[in-house]
Amino acid sequence: MIKDPSKHLLPKFLHESGFLRLFVASQRNKIAILMLHGVIDPDTSAAWKPLRSQLSTEQLTRALSVLASYYHFVSLSEAVEMLAGTRPLIPNSLVLTFDDGYRNNLTFALPILRRFKAPATMFLCTGNITKQTPFWFDRLDYAVQSMAHESTSRHVIPELMEIDFSNKEALKKSFTTFIRKEKKRYTTDTDMRSAMANLTERLEQHSGHGLAEIFANDPWSGILNWEEIREVAALGVHFGSHGVDHTLLGLVPLSIARQEFIESQKMIEYYTGQPCIHLAYPDGSFNQEVISLARDCNYTSAVTIVSGLNQPGDEALALRRIAFPHSDSPAEVIIAASGLSAQWQKVKKNIPNLYSTGRKKIQ
C-alpha cells in the first residue's frame, strides 16, 4: 500500500509556520483529556497481535516528548477541580487516561509516563480482573484471526462472509466494520454480548484455538491482577472505574448500571486504599439517566469518547476525550491533541448542509 506524502504537507506547514503553537495558545483555558488503551514494545515476543490499532512504546515516547513542549501534564483530579473552579486553572493542561486495565499499562507505559512526570488515571473492569478473563472483544479478535488459515471451514460460519481475509489490512478494516455494525444491531447489551459470545465459541470450536490458552502471559490482552494494582496504587498510580465487565451502561436497566457502579467502586477502593471517584463509560455508552446515577453513586467525574476539549462549567460527568494520536509526526500529534482535527471533522460534516443552505438562499 503506497502512502500519499502530500497529505502530510499541510500538518507539516502548520507546525513549522508556528500556527499550531498559536492555536494551542488560543485554547489555553480548555483542558485536553487523551484516551489510551494498550501500549507495548514492538520487540516483545507475542503469539499474536490484535487487529485494533496498538500504540508502541516508541510512539508513546515521541508523542509525550512533543506534547510536553506544548502542554502541562496534570492528573484527572486536578483537571476536574480546575473545571469546577476550585483550583486555579493551569493554561494548556492535558490529562492522560487508560481504559480497560491491561497489564502492559504498567510494564511498558508507566516507566515512560514517569520519565515525563505525567500522571495518569487507569480505568479498571473489576470483574475481568477478579476472574482473570479476557475481554470479549479480544477473545473474538483472536478467534477470528485463528480462522485465517481455515478457508475450508469458514463457509459454515455465516458471519465470516463479512470478513475479508485476503490480507492483514483488509482483515483489520473489515473486522472493525463488522464489530461496529454488530454493536449497533442490538438494543440491549445482553443481546449483543450473547451474540458475540456465541460467534466466538463457534470460531474457537472450528479453529481449535482460543485466547484463554495464552491469556495469562499474553502481553497484548493480559490484564492486571489485584496484587499488582495494590502495589502501584501505593506508589501513587490512580485508578478509576470502567464498570465490572465492560457493560454498555446506556443499554442496560438502571438497576444493572447501579450495580456496575457500586460493585466496581467498592472493589477498587478496597484494593487501592484510594477513593474511587472517577469513571469511564465503557465504549462511551451513557445517557442522562446514567449521568444522574453516577452522581448518586458519588463519582465526581466521568469521561466519554465524545471528541473535544473541556472548559470550566462543563458537565464533569460527561467529559470529552480525544483518542491518543497514533502518529510519528509531531504536527499530527498536536493537531489531534489540540482538538483541531476534531473541529475540522465537524466542519467537513457540515459542509454539505452549508452548501445546501447557500443554494437555497441564491435561489
Half-sphere exposure at residue 360, Cβ-oriented, CA atoms within 13 angstroms? 6
The pLDDT value recorded for residue 256 is 97
Cell numbers at 253, concatenated = 436497566
The pLDDT value recorded for residue 9 is 81
The pLDDT value recorded for residue 348 is 63
Cell numbers at 226, concatenated = 489485584
DSSP per residue over 125-167, as a string?
-HHHHHHT---HHHHHHHHHHHTTT-TTTGGGSGGGGG---SS
The pLDDT value recorded for residue 5 is 47
Query: Does the domain formed by 24-132+223-350 have CATH 3.20.20.370?
Result: yes
Calpha distance 205→209 (Å, rounded): 7
The pLDDT value recorded for residue 125 is 98
The pLDDT value recorded for residue 336 is 94
The pLDDT value recorded for residue 3 is 47
By C-alpha distance, which of 225, 220, 222, 228 is closest to 44?
A: 220
Cell numbers at 30, concatenated = 480548555
Query: Which residues belong to CATH 3.20.20.370 in the chain?
Result: 24-132+223-350
Low-confidence ranges of the chain (pLDDT < 50): 1-6, 354
